Amino acid sequence: MIPHVFKVIHHDSIKLGRSKEEFLEINGPQMATATHVVVIITDAAAASPFVFHEVLFADWLGKKLVSAVFKNVWFNLRPTLKAVLGECPAIDFETKMYNECLDVLEHHIKPLRRVPGVVLEQAYLNKMADGLRPLETLAYTRNGMQNVLLGEGDPMVFISYQWDMQAKVEDIKQVLEANGINCWADINMAPQPNRTHSSKSGRSSTATHDGGGDTLQSLIQRNMKSSSVVLTCITPKYLQSDNCKKDLLLAETFNKPVIPVLLRFSPIESAPDQIRKILARLSYIDLSNERLYKQNIALVVERIKKHLTQRM
């Protein structure tokens, strides 16, 4: 079978211009002649102004966009890029075989047709179809499992709390994950004396403490570091706990935004000096009774999503 021959063009890396207008003036005419636009998704692409302007220009021209994902950087993409590329087809070059991904890309750009003497097997067609997913769906998928809703993969939110409020924290966590926000919390392990956290990731499976050689503190630090936001659940006992101080200081060290939610009335004056200084500059969301919980839980989701968007 004679392979398709494609004419492939890309922006002139020597002539980038000195402004958005000059860049598009130099490279726009080439894009205007293209039928498809393949967006190479990498760490560098997520921050590239050239990729950003090219994608927007291609969308404005009505070009057929497809993403070749070499690195899952969905959460680092600008909101505008997410809006344009989220529903467009994407191919998982990061975890799938390179040659198979090329086959999917070629078939997507120029599908083989049924002609006399050539009958495409249904298995082949299924394989080509399965290799394409909307970029947003692909971003949340690993080995066919939805990470965000199952709580796998890197968390977006680290939940810091005191064990006496575990049931309420479970409710909050379920609401966040139902909204596509992956969390790390220490739910479903027997509490240790004077400890705010356990080593559990928050899923209802077997505990993972030291299962992979991790100490409790290393798990806390790793999950805090990989999170985008720290949700701190304020109660009188929490404010007095040693690990409240450790978590908030760790959040400062990692430069993580902190969202405090009030689960029980807790005068800030009762907190130790270091805690009081950190919390004094933050705005609380009151969830301290059932009415306020129902009224304000959507605000928690909204504020977290705002922080996630600002980080992208």
Burial of 18 (0-12, 13-18, 19+ CB in 10 A): exposed
pLDDT digit string (tens) for 235-270? Answer: 999 998 887 888 999 999 889 999 999 999 988 888
- Segment 70-92 shows an average pLDDT of 87
Strand partners, 232: 160, 260
Q: Higher confidence at residue 57 or residue 229? A: 229
User: What's the pLDDT at 190?
Assistant: 39
User: What's the pLDDT at 225?
Assistant: 87
Nearest to 33 by CA among 52, 13, 53, 8: 8
pLDDT digit string (tens) for 5-24? Answer: 566 666 655 566 667 677 77
Three-class SS of 230-299 = EEEEECHHHHHCHHHHHHHHHHHHCCCCEEEEECCCCCHHHCCHHHHHHHHCCCCEECCCHHHHHHHHHH
Q: Higher confidence at residue 78 or residue 219? A: 78
At 215, is the pLDDT very low, low, confident or very high (cuts 50, 70, 90)?
Answer: low
Question: How many Å is the Cα radius of gyration of the chain?
Answer: 24
Comparing 11-15, 75-79, 280-284, the range with the smallest average pLDDT is 11-15
At 198, is the pLDDT very low, low, confident or very high (cuts 50, 70, 90)?
Answer: very low
**Whole-angstrom Cα distance, residue 65 to residue 31?**
12
Two tokens at 194? 């004077």
pLDDT digit string (tens) for 124-170? Answer: 677 777 788 888 877 766 433 333 333 345 688 999 998 878 889 98
Residue 180, Ramachandran bin (φ over 0: left; ψ between -120 and 50: alpha; else beta): left
